[in-house]
């Protein structure tokens, strides 16, 4: 079925969203080994390529009305008059729309990441950065394939790209400075997505979403590490006015990312306008904890790359996420990578045990 028939509201898919590109394509004639850490990351990017058709078990059934299997109290509406008004059938429909919205934004963000990674290949001045970003472009293509397949075959409902995500993608891609695709995508968009993947991965009881999110996160952990390495070196060389421009971009982008996760498009489909839901969300203890955690990758990364002025810290303080600067980003990334290997080990062990049981049953059945 064409995607246009699955969108939650009419979307003219024949019309392409076109962003005029700025900046230069950069060639380099220096073919030395470059930075060892980036080349190590490039090697890992090559070693860790995987096939979504083979690594993920697409035969697993998914209840579209309970795709994540999350408890009721995780909903911002739980405990409010609006939750009671929905009734059980309305709550089932809400779960479908929330899962669709989340996976749809993952899908659109991954297409943006694929284009940004290709842009970095073109614009980055160093060959080691071009090498790694080429592997990331392939990663992002695989993620687009994966999320699209899940939405089409398991949920049957797609949401259009969120306004805030679209705005940040436009700002990121239309800026001519070569480091901006790194900052906008690797730090802000990917950083928020990685944390959102992690929350969903850790709370879901459903095997297929867990597989998808765990394996995608293994890739994304490398992508954020790539942005950190490249930008940390570059930003040490910038003047105070140049750093201030990037701090402005970060502050504006983080406000967009904060508003992006509020799912206003879903609430409006259920008759709850922005003003109403803003109050519900801001008063919700669980949602505020969730929002804070979604900045657990962005804030320490911004600090690490050197955009840590009082202005940036004050902006994070007002958003209620300044404490996230204490997160151990390296430990989080290691956990994200190791989780995929652990999941593989569990799945293969279970499959091996099942295979042995089948062989044993055949042998027992063949005995006289």
Whether residue 24 is contained in a domain is answered as no
Residue numbers of the domain that contains 163: 3-10+36-366
Whether residue 30 is contained in a domain is answered as no
Confidence of residue 225 (pLDDT cuts 50, 70, 90): confident
Whether residue 19 is contained in a domain is answered as no
Write out pLDDT tens, residues 141-179. 999 999 999 999 999 999 999 999 999 999 998 888 889
pLDDT at 338 over 80: yes
Three-state SS at 7: strand
pLDDT at 125: 84
Whether residue 362 is contained in a domain is answered as yes
> For the chain, how many structural domains are there in total?
1
Whether residue 25 is contained in a domain is answered as no
Closest-CA residue to 261 (of 319, 313, 305): 319
Whether residue 104 is contained in a domain is answered as yes
Instruction: Give the lowest-confidence range in 37-41, 255-259, 307-311.
Output: 37-41
Whether residue 15 is contained in a domain is answered as no
pLDDT at 315 over 70: yes
pLDDT at 367: 59
Whether residue 277 is contained in a domain is answered as yes
Rounded alpha-carbon distances, angstroms, from residue 43 to 28, 47, 70, 216, 335: 20, 6, 37, 18, 19
Confidence of residue 359 (pLDDT cuts 50, 70, 90): low
Residues 223/142, Cβ–Cβ less than 8 Å: no
| Single pTM value for the model | 0.87
**Integer Cα distance of 129 and 145 in angstroms:** 24
Q: What angle do CA 53, 57, 62 make, to 5 degrees?
A: 120
> The domain spanning residue 289 has which CATH number?
1.10.620.20
**Integer Cα distance of 106 and 158 in angstroms:** 11
Closest-CA residue to 179 (of 235, 131, 103): 235
């Amino acid at each position: 079925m064409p995607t246009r028939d699955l969108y939650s509201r009419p979307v003219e898919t024949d019309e392409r969203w076109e962003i005029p590109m700025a900046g230069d394509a950069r060639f380099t004639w220096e073919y030395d080994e470059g930075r060892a850490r980036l080349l190590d990351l490039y090697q890992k990017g090559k070693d860790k390529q995987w096939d979504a058709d083979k690594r993920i078990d697409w035969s697993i059934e998914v209840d579209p009305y309970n795709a994540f299997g999350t408890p009721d109290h995780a909903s911002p509406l739980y405990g409010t008059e609006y939750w009671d008004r929905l009734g059980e059938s309305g709550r089932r429909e809400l779960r479908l729309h929330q899962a669709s919205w989340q996976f749809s934004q993952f899908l659109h963000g991954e297409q943006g990441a694929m284009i940004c990674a290709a842009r970095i290949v073109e614009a980055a001045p160093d060959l080691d950065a071009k090498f790694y970003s080429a592997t990331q472009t392939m990663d992002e293509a695989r993620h687009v394939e994966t999320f699209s397949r899940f939405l089409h075959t398991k949920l049957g409902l797609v949401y259009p790209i969120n306004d805030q995500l679209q705005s940040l993608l436009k700002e990121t891609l239309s800026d001519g400075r070569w480091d901006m695709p790194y900052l906008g995508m690797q730090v802000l968009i990917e950083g928020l997505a990685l944390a959102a993947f992690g929350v969903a991965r850790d709370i879901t009881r459903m095997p297929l979403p867990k597989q998808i999110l765990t394996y995608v996160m293994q890739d994304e952990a490398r992508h954020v590490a790539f942005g950190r390495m490249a930008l940390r070196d570059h930003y040490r060389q910038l003047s105070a006015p140049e750093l201030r421009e990037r701090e402005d971009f970060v502050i504006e982008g983080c406000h967009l990312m904060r508003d992006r996760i509020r799912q206003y498009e879903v609430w409006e489909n259920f008759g709850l306008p922005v003003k109403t839901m803003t109050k519900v969300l801001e008063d919700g203890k669980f949602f505020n904890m969730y929002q804070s955690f979604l900045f657990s990758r962005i804030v320490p990364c911004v600090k690490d790359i050197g955009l840590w002025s009082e202005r940036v810290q004050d902006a994070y303080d007002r958003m209620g996420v300044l404490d996230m600067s204490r997160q151990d980003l390296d430990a989080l990334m290691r956990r994200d990578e190791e989780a995929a290997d652990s999941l593989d080990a569990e799945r293969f062990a279970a499959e091996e045990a099942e295979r042995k049981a089948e062989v044993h049953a055949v042998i027992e059945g063949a005995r006289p």
